[in-house]
Every structure is written in C-alpha cells, then in structure tokens.
C-alpha cells in the first residue's frame, strides 16, 4: 500500500483546494454574494481526500449537505462549483442547485444531498447496480453522525450486508449533529459498532490523519471489489466552523475548537511528508500558490458568468 510521490502531492493539493475553496466561500457569504446557506468542510479535509484517493476515477461517491470537500476530492471543476454557489448559468446545476446539490456524473459524483441520510440509499442502489452489471465499480457513501440514527441507514446497511454489495459507508463523525452532541443522540459509544448487526466490518479511524483514512478505505474498497461486501468506517473528525452559516456555536467552547485546530489535518500531513518523504517545503509552498491562483480564477469565472434568464425560470423543473 505504498503511496507514490505523485499520489502524495495530489492528496496534499486536494486538501489545500478544499481548505482554500471553503475559506473563499465563507468570505463571499459574509459579503452577501452567496444566498441561502452553506455547510463548510474546513477541518475535515483528510476524510474526503483520503477516501477518494482509494478509488478509481470511474468509481462512485454520494455526498451530503456538507459536500464541497467530497466533490472537490472526486475531481470537480472549481470554476463550475464556484459558479453554482453564486447562482450562475455556468454552474454544475446551472445555478439552480446551490451549495447542497452539486452533482458531477462525469467524475462519478452522484450528488450532494440536503436530506439527512439521503445519499445512503442512493449509494446502496448504485452498488446493487454495479453488482448486477458486474462492472467492478465501488461506491463510497459519505454521511454524518446524525444520519446514522435515520431508519434508512439501518435498512441500507442490512441490504448491503445481506447481498454483499460493493459499497463503503463512511460516517464522518464530527461530534455534533447540528448542535446536538453525539453522546446525547446515539446509544452506542462508537457508530462503527453498528456494523456487527449487518455482518460487515466496522472500522474506526482518526479522520484528521489522511494516511490512516486512505489505508482503511483502500482495504475496504479492495474488499468490496473482490466481492466480499460492504464495510462501515467511522472517521472521527471535527468541523472548525458552525453547522451552517446561521450557527453561532453556543453549544461548544472556543477552547474545544482551539484544541481541535491543533490537529489540523493539513499541518499533520505536511509534517508526515517532511519526516517520511523527500518532498520539500518549497514543493508544498508551490502547490499552495498554485491553488490560491486557481481559487481566484474560479471566482473571476463565476462573477463574470451570466445569471440564469428569467425566461428560463421553468426549465429543468420536470424530467
């Protein structure tokens, strides 16, 4: 499971892309340039990138309301993403979907979803289709700790366990379902324990350690591709910002947030690369500058793109 220098640099770049994209979105939201709401992924970058690094380009993912990170990790076009958030005609959903509904079938992204646990049955269905078609594809299903208490989570995992479907369920446990601590909403200590009920492995990983995430997901993906069935992975992580843009975070302390920021997944990966590879600080700095330029180009593309026309208001409403 040796990672090449090229792969390691790709992983680093994707994490930086997510971080810088989300910080730009935060800035634009505060300027009233993005309407509705958005749920930012700052602090959780290692989970999305570590997981997607274990996939083939034509494998699938399903995402969540906090989906920008998954979408970027799976290869989305930053310009189309930014345009979508700004409600532009050049966005992934022509400006109609916004933050929670980015989909890009060309990269295997079957869509973000504003419904809690909404992506779980979609991922299970995609995995069933792959098994029936024998196309050797694997689906990764991202969802949050709150979704693990929805009925469809249990129904889907039961099906996947029964039929040995090629799907990897990744629960991003960031300790809070909106403002509700996991300890007050979930009967079991670890969500991964629930895998035992559905005859599949349950694995816990440090969601801020990209290499650990990658290794666990790669093992689960390989297992699924061999026809041995699903895996439930619980990635323990933390979102630095509020649940959404309307969240003042009164349910947790600033001290708690600072403690988690010390576990910054990007800084940890930089240290790992410095200690275990010949990748230099200059190479990493070059990536940071390159991404900064890409984010600015995405922003310029978005603000200079046309708004949807009022005449097209009813288009795309019906299939």
Residues 6+ apart with CB under 8 A from 121: 152, 155, 156
* Contact indicator for 145, 171 with CB cutoff of 8 Å: yes
The predicted model gives 99-124 an average pLDDT of 96
Q: What is the pLDDT of residue 264?
A: 98
- Residue of 289, 243, 266, 295 lying closest to 72 (CA atoms): 295
Centre a 10 Å sphere on the Cβ of residue 318 and count the other Cβ atoms it contains: 5
Q: How far apart are CA 142 and CA 268, in angstroms?
A: 22
pLDDT higher for 163 or 36? 163
The predicted model gives 194-214 an average pLDDT of 98
Q: Is the pLDDT of residue 36 over 70?
A: yes
Residues 6+ apart with CB under 8 A from 279: 5, 8, 9, 273
pTM for this structure? 0.96
Q: Is the pLDDT of residue 317 over 80?
A: yes
What is 5-256+263-309's CATH number, 3.40.50.300, 3.40.50.970, 1.10.3720.10, 3.40.250.10? 3.40.50.970
pLDDT band at 314 (very low <50, low <70, confident <90, very high): confident
pLDDT band at 70 (very low <50, low <70, confident <90, very high): very high
The predicted model gives 232-238 an average pLDDT of 98
Instruction: Give the pair of three-digit tokens for residue 256.
Output: 């708690």
Q: What is the pLDDT of residue 1?
A: 63
Q: Is the pLDDT of residue 318 over 90?
A: no
With b for 16 or more beta-carbon neighbours within 10 A and e for fewer, the 291-316 pattern comes to beebbeebbebbeebeebeeeeeeee
Q: What is the pLDDT of residue 246?
A: 86
The predicted model gives 128-148 an average pLDDT of 98
Q: What is the pLDDT of residue 319?
A: 78
- Residue of 22, 78, 75, 70 lying closest to 47 (CA atoms): 70
Q: What is the pLDDT of residue 2?
A: 82
Q: What percent of the chain has pLDDT over 70?
A: 100
pLDDT higher for 315 or 24? 24
């Amino acid at each position: 499971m040796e990672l090449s220098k090229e792969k390691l640099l790709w992983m680093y770049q994707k994490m930086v892309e997510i971080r810088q994209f989300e910080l730009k979105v935060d800035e634009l939201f505060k300027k009233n340039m993005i309407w509705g709401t958005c749920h930012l992924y700052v602090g959780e970058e290692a989970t999305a990138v570590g997981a997607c690094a274990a996939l083939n380009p034509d494998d699938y993912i399903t995402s969540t309301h906090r989906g920008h990170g998954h979408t970027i990790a799976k290869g989305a076009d930053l310009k189309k993403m930014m345009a979508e958030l700004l409600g532009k005609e050049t966005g992934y959903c022509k400006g109609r979907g916004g933050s929670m509904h980015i989909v890009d079938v060309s990269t295997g992204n079957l869509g973000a979803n504003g419904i809690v646990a909404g992506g779980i049955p979609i991922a299970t269905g995609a995995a069933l289709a792959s098994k029936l078609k024998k196309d050797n594809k694997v689906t990764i299903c991202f969802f949050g700790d709150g979704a693990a208490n929805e009925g469809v989570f249990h129904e889907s995992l039961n099906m996947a366990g029964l039929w040995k479907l090629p799907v990897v369920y990744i629960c991003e446990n960031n300790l809070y379902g909106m403002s509700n601590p996991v300890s007050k909403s979930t009967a079991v200590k670890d969500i991964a324990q629930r895998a035992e009920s559905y005859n599949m492995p349950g694995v816990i990983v440090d969601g801020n350690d990209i290499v650990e995430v990658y290794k666990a997901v790669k093992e689960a993906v390989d297992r699924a591709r061999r026809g041995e069935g699903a895996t439930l992975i619980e990635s323990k992580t933390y979102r630095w910002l509020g649940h959404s843009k309307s969240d003042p975070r009164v349910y947790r302390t600033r001290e708690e947030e600072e403690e988690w920021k010390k576990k910054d997944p990007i800084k940890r990966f930089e240290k790992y690369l410095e200690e275990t590879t010949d990748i230099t600080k200059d190479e990493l700095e070059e990536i940071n500058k390159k991404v900064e330029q890409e984010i600015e180009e995405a922003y310029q593309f978005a603000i200079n793109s046309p708004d949807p026309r009022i005449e097209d208001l009813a288009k795309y409403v019906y299939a």
